[in-house]
Chains A and B, each alone.
Chain A
Amino acid sequence: MKALIQYISTILQGLLTLVKGMAVTGHYFFRPKLITTQQYPENRQTLKMFDRFRGEVIMPHDENNHHKCTGCGICEMNCPNGSIEIITKMIETPEGKKKKVIDKHIYHLGMCTLCNLCVKACPTGAIVMGQKFEHAVWDRTQLTKVLNQPGSELMKDVKE
């Protein structure tokens, strides 16, 4: 008798879980607003990528052409496939001290796996992930970029 009750309750429970699953998909079916598909080339003007989307590594500059990169080279060491090369130069500060600053932050987009490790490792938060994803170019040399803009300087209040 007990076995029989158990048998029937397994069947009913099974049916119940199936109905629960169908309720989820049925919920989606009748709400076309939830559709996540993007019709890409058509909606190019209005397309907004998601906050955590990783398109490329970029280095934001402020209005005075200042960035936060100290040239420490930690991102270069952390990159698993050598997509970053840091070239530094020595300059003389107005006080007469010698100081190492970034000359070129070279980034090879063609090799980058967008793993985000360099962004996480950077102690000053100088580099972030950008949202651009239309990276097709005619020549692969165009995929090698210099992230610090020409003539840019280190921000004043960045601790080294």
Chain B
Amino acid sequence: MAFDIYDFTTLTSSIHQSLSESLPPLAVEMIEWTLVGLSMLIFVALFGLILVYLERKVCALFQQRLGPMRVGKWGLLQTIADFVKLLMKELITPNRADKFLYNLAPFIVIIVTFMAIAAIPFAKGLQALDFDIGVFYVSAISSLGVIGILLAGWASNNKYSLIGAMRSGAQIISYELSVGLTLITMIIFAGTMQISGIVDAQASGWFIFRGHIPAIIAFIIFLIAGTAETNRGPFDLAEAESELTAGFHTEYSGIKFAFFFLAEYVNLFIVSAMATVLFLGGWQPLHFGSFEGFNQVMDFIPPIFWFFGKVMFIIYMIMWFKWTFPRLRVDQILTLEWKYLLPVNLFNILLMTLIVLMGWHF
């Protein structure tokens, strides 16, 4: 089996060939999808655990604390211990809750994140779904998650949950617009919606450098709106511990709560991965014009490390936001979106169009 860390297409095609030799095409298809699904599942579970640990450590450092230190060296096993604890907890359903919707909601949230993660290109040849309209697909799918949140709040028969869910609805409907418009800005620049096409177009330079001013503005807006999309602080008023106990997931316990928790972190990953793909060149190494030696050194680092390095950088930025800024009020959130981000965004699209038409980019 050929394995090349720089190009995963050889690996995937050799698996495909060895399967096709002895099995009918339908079975090959089924086995391949199962393999992809399983690897996604393992990736999400592991990455979720690592992210929770990182978040606790990073937030502790921002607040001059140590964070988890007791379970394992530097608390490395803390999240595993927490996970085992969550698995063993009793699943409580409140009296007079809408049982069906109540049990359905966490699954909607988690399934949606899995659907979105399928379109993320981890490295060359390591992308499960590559639609012509990949960017549109991700933005459409990731906005479905709010249905799960609204259902969770509605079906719990708890006023705090309902308020949290409604806030989340208002927030996501507003910020979806900003995310969409920044996506449009970058699509205008790239000229394609296909995610692999966008990544390939950045081989000669990342869009944030090539698109200069409008790309940087779009990047900042995408970071802000993406933070809001994932319901993370300072936009975490859907759960707002100090006001609503835990917002939409107040009534959930055990593994159903863990689903919401995991979905939040996977969404964080998806937003960071989309920012990486659209602005920071996906898995493309850093290249500067004609510095051949420098470019070759950069090429030496495998693309998968480039991708995760960039994603980690964006995740770190979003964590930095969360642990620095105070939570916004509902009216402030809507003011920020409709009075500031939206007009700036529309103007930015015009600017980008002008720059693309006049060819004022690199």
Measuring CB to CB, which residues of chain A are less than 8 angstroms from any residue of chain B?
A: 11, 15, 18, 21-22, 24-26, 28-29, 32, 34-37, 39
Look across to chain B and name the residue whose beta carbon is closest to the beta carbon of A33: B64
In the bound complex, do residue B320 and residue A26 qualify as a contact, i.e. CB atoms below 8 Å apart?
A: yes
Would B62 and A11 count as touching, CB distance under 8 A?
no
CB distance B324 to A21 under 8 Å?
A: yes
Q: Please, what's the 1-or-0 string for B190-214, where 1 marks a CB less than 8 Å from any CB in chain A?
A: 0000000000000000000000000
B65 in contact with A37 (CB, 8 Å) = yes
CA distance A18 to B340 in the complex (A): 15
Q: Closest residue to A18 on the B side, CB-wise?
A: B325
Which B residue sits closest to A15, measured CB to CB?
B220
Residue numbers in A under 8 Å from B340 (CB-CB) = 11
Contact between A39 and B64, CB atoms less than 8 A apart: no
A19 to B337, CA, bound (A): 19
Question: What's the Cα separation between A38 and B65 when bound, in Å?
Answer: 9
* Contact status B66-A25, CB under 8 Å: no
Q: List 17 A-B contacts (CB under 8 A).
A: A18-B325, A21-B325, A22-B320, A25-B63, A25-B323, A26-B320, A28-B62, A28-B63, A28-B64, A29-B320, A32-B61, A35-B61, A35-B65, A36-B64, A37-B60, A37-B64, A37-B65
Query: What is the size, in residues, of chain B's interface with A at 8 Å between Cβ atoms?
Result: 17
Decide: A29 near B61, CB < 8 A? Known: A21-B324, A21-B325. yes
Query: Chain B residues near A36 (CB, 8 Å)?
Result: 64-65
Across the two chains, which residue of chain B brings its CB closest to A32? B61
B173: interface (CB < 8 Å): no
Q: Is chain A's interface secondary structure helix, strand, loop, or mixed overall?
A: helix
Q: A26-B320, A34-B64, A36-B65 are in contact. List 7 more A-B contacts (CB 8 A).
A: A18-B324, A25-B320, A28-B64, A29-B61, A35-B61, A35-B64, A35-B66
Residues of B329-357 contacting chain A, CB below 8 A: 340, 344
Residues of A within 8 A of B220 (CB): 15
Say whether B69 faces chain A, with CB atoms less than 8 Å apart: yes
Contacts of B65 in A (CB 8 A): 35-37
Among B58, B323, B324: residue with most chain A CB under 10 A = B324
| Interface of chain B residues 24 through 70 with chain A (CB within 8 A) | 58, 60-66, 69
Contact with A along B59-86 (1 / 0, CB 8 A): 0111111100100000000000000000
B318 CB, min distance to chain A CBs, angstroms? 12
CB–CB A39/B66 < 8 A: yes
Q: Which residues of A contact B325 (CB under 8 A)?
A: 18, 21
* Cα A26 to Cα B319 with chains together (Å): 11
| Chain A residues whose C-beta falls within 8 Å of the C-beta of B58 in the assembled complex | 29
Q: Give the residues in chain A near B64, CB-CB below 8 Å.
A: 28, 34-37
Chain B residues with CB below 8 A from A32, complex form: 61
The reply to whether A28 and B69 form a contact with Cβ atoms under 8 Å apart is: no
Most buried by B among A18, A24, A34: A18
A37/B66 contact (C-beta < 8 A), A28-B61, A29-B58, A32-B61 known: yes
Q: Which residues of B contact A26 (CB under 8 A)?
A: 320
CA distance A34 to B344 in the complex (A): 39
Please give the distance in Å from A45's CB to the nearest CB on chain B: 18
CA distance A37 to B63 in the complex (A): 10
Contact A39 B69, CB 8 Å, known A29-B58, A29-B61, A29-B62: yes
CB distance from A155 to the nearest CB of B (A): 43
Complex: A36 Cα to B63 Cα, angstroms:
9
In Å, the complex CA distance between A154 and B344 comes to 78
Contacts of B63 in A (CB 8 A): 25, 28
Question: Closest residue of chain A to B339, judged by CB?
Answer: A7
Which chain B residues lie closer than 8 Å to A18 at the CB level?
Answer: 324-325
The closest CB in chain B to the CB of A8 belongs to B344
Chain A residues whose CB sits within 8 angstroms of the CB of B69 once the complex forms: 39
Of all chain A residues, the one with the shortest Cβ separation from B65 is: A37
Residues of B within 8 A of A25 (CB): 62-63, 320, 323-324
Complex: how many Å from CA A25 to CA B325? 10
- Taking CB atoms, residues of chain A closer than 8 Å to B320 are 22, 25-26, 29
**B324: chain A residues within 8 A (beta carbon):** 18, 21-22, 24-25
